[in-house]
């Protein structure tokens, strides 16, 4: 027999010490009595001395068995603790990260960003909830989500407690005014045209709504705008704009493909456009291995680190 001991033998030893009867101990260990008896003999062979006095009923420990009892208890207990710790680590490593994000970022930015960030660092399991600006903030503050991906601009208040809700600047985007096009590919609407401009606006509580108001003030066209459509979702604005329903202020990342193909035209200039940071937020009150790994990956691949 090899000079090894199996954990099952130690647990059999402890079971027999507890019951004193081979049949009861075998039943407790869920194996046949013959197999149980054989494993006790294997353990005694490995130790080199009898561990139980079989001349007594119920059987009792020999002097050597009493000496071995403490070691068996400690070994089994230590192995169980290590096993549970490893399972906990494995569960944390495979833990699903809950991310809340603005609609536009969830569609135009998040998938590519996750792919680029993790392709050389291992996959990340995520669960995504898509919300408007206030919904994202509330979700992070309530502890419903681990991370929040949102726009940030000094003129629009977000999370002011940097100690409790630190952030990483991932990249930048720009709020641009766009118009649908006619059959010749020319913009249907422009700031210089006479008369009212059909306007696709955001709801007042949305981040892009607040920031677009600043752009409108800088272009001094507020009096010309005639609200035709209102929503808090930029992707809905974009679809309406393509259909020629009016002008809209949209994140550049979301409209870049359409500007390239010519299905939308940019009608704003650098003066009227607003630059927005794309930031990842977290709460310091939540932490686990998966969260810290993700946070560090985001930090090393962010625009702040480059």
Question: What are the residue boundaries of the structural domains of the chain, listed by start?
Answer: 7-92, 100-306
CB atoms within 10 A of CB 273: 18
Q: Which residues of 220-251 are buried (b: 16+ CB within 10 A; e: fewer)?
A: ebeeebeeebebbbbbbbbebbbeebbbbbbb
What DSSP designation does 204 have? Answer: T
Cα(148)–Cα(129) distance, integer angstroms: 10
For 85, residues 6+ apart whose C-beta sits below 8 A from its C-beta are none
Query: What is the pLDDT tens value at each position of the chain, 306 positions in all?
Result: 446 678 889 999 999 999 999 999 998 888 899 989 999 999 999 989 999 999 888 999 999 999 999 888 888 888 878 776 665 555 555 578 889 999 899 999 999 998 888 776 667 788 888 888 888 888 888 888 899 999 999 888 777 778 889 999 999 999 999 999 999 999 999 998 888 999 999 887 788 888 999 888 888 888 999 999 888 888 899 999 999 999 999 999 999 999 999 999 999 988 888 899 999 999 888 888 888 888 998 888 776 555
Domain 7-92 has CATH 3.40.50.1000: no
Helix (H, G, I), strand (E, B) or coil at 285: coil
DSSP run (H or E) holding 196: none
For 242, residues 6+ apart whose C-beta sits below 8 A from its C-beta are 180, 258, 263, 264
pLDDT digits (tens, 9 = 90+) for 20-56: 999 999 988 888 999 899 999 999 999 899 999 998 8
Helix%, strand%, coil% for the chain, nearest 5: 45, 20, 30
Reading the block at residue 122, the tokens are 């291992």
Reading the block at residue 269, the tokens are 């200039």
Domain 100-306 has CATH 3.20.190.10: no
What's the length of the chain?
A: 306
What DSSP designation does 95 have? Answer: P
């Amino acid at each position: 027999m090899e000079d090894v001991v199996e954990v099952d033998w130690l647990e059999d030893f402890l079971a027999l010490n507890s019951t004193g009867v081979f049949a009861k101990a075998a039943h407790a260990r869920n194996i046949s009595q013959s197999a149980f008896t054989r494993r006790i003999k294997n353990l005694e062979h490995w130790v080199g001395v009898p561990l139980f006095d079989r001349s007594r009923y119920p059987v009792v420990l020999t002097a050597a068995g009493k000496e071995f009892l403490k070691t068996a208890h400690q070994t089994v207990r230590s192995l169980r603790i290590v096993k549970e710790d490893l399972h906990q680590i494995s569960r944390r490593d495979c833990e699903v990260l809950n991310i809340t994000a603005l609609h536009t970022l969830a569609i135009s930015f998040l998938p590519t960003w996750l792919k680029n960030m993790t392709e050389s660092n291992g996959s990340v399991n995520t669960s995504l909830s898509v919300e408007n600006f206030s919904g994202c903030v509330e979700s992070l503050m309530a502890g419903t989500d681990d991370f929040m991906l949102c726009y940030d601009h000094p003129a629009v208040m977000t999370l002011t407690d940097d100690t409790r809700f630190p952030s990483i600047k991932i990249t930048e985007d720009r709020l641009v005014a766009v118009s649908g096009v006619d059959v010749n590919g020319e913009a249907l609407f422009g700031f210089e045209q006479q008369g009212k401009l059909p306007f696709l606006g955001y709801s007042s509580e949305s981040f892009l709504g607040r920031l677009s108001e600043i752009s409108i003030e800088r272009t001094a066209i507020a009096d010309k705008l005639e609200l035709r459509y209102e929503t808090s979702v930029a992707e809905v604005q974009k679809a309406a704009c393509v259909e020629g329903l009016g002008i809209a202020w949209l994140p550049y990342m979301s409209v870049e493909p359409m500007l390239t193909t010519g299905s939308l035209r940019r009608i704003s200039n650098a003066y009227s456009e607003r630059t927005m940071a794309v930031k990842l937020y977290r709460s310091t009150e939540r932490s686990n291995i998966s969260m810290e790994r993700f946070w560090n990956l985001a930090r090393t691949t962010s625009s702040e680190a480059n």
